[in-house]
Structure 1
Amino acid sequence: MTGILKRLRRDRAGAAGIEFAILAPIVFSLVFSTFEAGWIMTQSIMLDRAVSRGSRALQVTGSNFTYDDFKKKVCDEAIILTNCIKSIRIEFTPISKSTDFPTSETSCVDRSVNIDPVTTYTGGQRSQIVFARACYVVDPLVPGLGYGLALPKDNTGGVRLTSRFAFVNEPG
């Protein structure tokens, strides 16, 4: 029996496999978390850019945009946001004094129901400040690993990306 134990102690076959089995999950978790963080950040930046450019179009043309027109404009600008029309909710609030800014959380689409409730959409008057808020719900790439596991999710497993933008309509 002691001879068998001495032979097993000297045998190094499989040592690399054990190291791989211990370190691979950690390395893969870091790599996938990096991809996840980059993808979420890219989508968030595209949402901000799209809301900004859509708001600029509204500023210049006045309040000729309907809610659907503005939503389509934002989704056309945000090229990488998949299923944008169904996953985004936009809200406009004209501001007349500093206390009119919304203090509640930005409302998002509830993907568990087929109803899309109406949100406030008023393009505002000429020379008026308008506060725009948008919320886009996106699914994480790897929800059960690393960064995707740590993100706060809604009841459908989606992550909320929000954008806020204030602007002044062009004078008439």
Structure 2
Amino acid sequence: MSRLSRSLIRFLRRDTRGAAAIEFALVVPILLAIIFSTLEAGWIMVQTIMLDRALDMTVRELRIGSFVDPTQEKMRDSICDKAVVLADCRNTLALELIPIAGSSSYPTDAARCLDRSTDIEPALRFNPGRRTEMVFVRACYVVAPLTPRFALGLLLAKDANGDVRLISKSGFVNEPS
């Protein structure tokens, strides 16, 4: 090695200016990714839990017969009233009730969710069933992630619009008269 290169290496070893900036530049993106991922996961978990809870409470009312004349709109309104954190719930919640006669009639298709980019609504099956009949219930709520292009928001399964679909399922047997 030449004398010039050795003296340059010694000078660079002694000069510590900017070392904190390099550490900052290396650590901050990782720290921000952890923070935003935690916020994203927490918010999606809260929305999922509230959707599950509201669906269970509404299904209980339907199962015991205290839900008079159930229609899809009334049930959607009931779920949305009980799930207070779901923004624009009435316009983004799809609800299906499907009577089950046996294992062969269990729905094997994917949940039908609303596409917020169009006014076309999917064909939803809604049949609350008769007394002593088993009914499968499925609700799909569409929500935009908090951080769609960063951290956990990149990894979430999204539809063509970049929305996340939260799906809640339940089943019940109507009480006999």
Indicate which of 159, 162, 171 corresponds to 1:157: 162
Contact 1:112 1:155 in 2 (8 A): no
What TM-score results when the alignment is normalised by the length of structure 2? 0.90
* Rounded Cα–Cα distance in structure 1 between residues aligned with 2:89 and 2:128: 21
Contact 2:113 2:122 in 1 (8 A): no
Is residue 2:146 matched to residue 1:141?
yes
**Paired residues, number:** 172
2:59 aligned counterpart, secondary structure: helix
Shift in CA distance, 63/125, structure 1 to aligned 2, threshold 3 Å: farther
Quick check: 71-80 or 57-66, which moved more?
Answer: 57-66
Q: What is aligned with 1:26?
A: 30
- Deviation of residue 5 (structure 1)? 6.4
Q: What is aligned with 1:129?
A: 134
Indicate which of 47, 50, 60 corresponds to 1:46: 50
Provide Cα deviations, 1:40-77, integer angstroms capped at 9, x if missing partner: 11111111111111111111236611110000001111
Structure 2, gaps ≥5 residues long: none
Indicate which of 18, 21, 24 corresponds to 1:14: 18
Provide Cα deviations, 1:60-96, integer angstroms capped at 9, x if missing partner: 2366111100000011111111111111100000112
Shift in CA distance, 49/84, structure 1 to aligned 2, threshold 3 Å: same
- Deviation of residue 98 (structure 1)? 2.2
* Rounded Cα–Cα distance in structure 2 between residues aligned with 1:148 and 1:27: 15
Post-superposition, which runs of at least 4 consecutive aligned residues in structure 1 deviate over 2 A?
1-9, 60-63
Identity %: 45
- Deviation of residue 8 (structure 1)? 4.3
Quick check: 114-123 or 82-91, which moved more?
Answer: 114-123
- Deviation of residue 14 (structure 1)? 1.5
What TM-score results when the alignment is normalised by the length of structure 1? 0.93
User: Which entry has the higher C-alpha Rg, 1 or 2?
Assistant: 2
Indicate which of 77, 98, 102 corresponds to 2:103: 98
* Rounded Cα–Cα distance in structure 1 between residues aligned with 2:95 and 2:116: 15
Structure 1, gaps ≥5 residues long: none
* Rounded Cα–Cα distance in structure 2 between residues aligned with 1:91 and 1:165: 10
Contact 2:80 2:89 in 1 (8 A): yes
Q: Which amino acid aligns with 1:33?
A: S
* Rounded Cα–Cα distance in structure 2 between residues aligned with 1:28 and 1:153: 22
* Rounded Cα–Cα distance in structure 2 between residues aligned with 1:97 and 1:14: 70
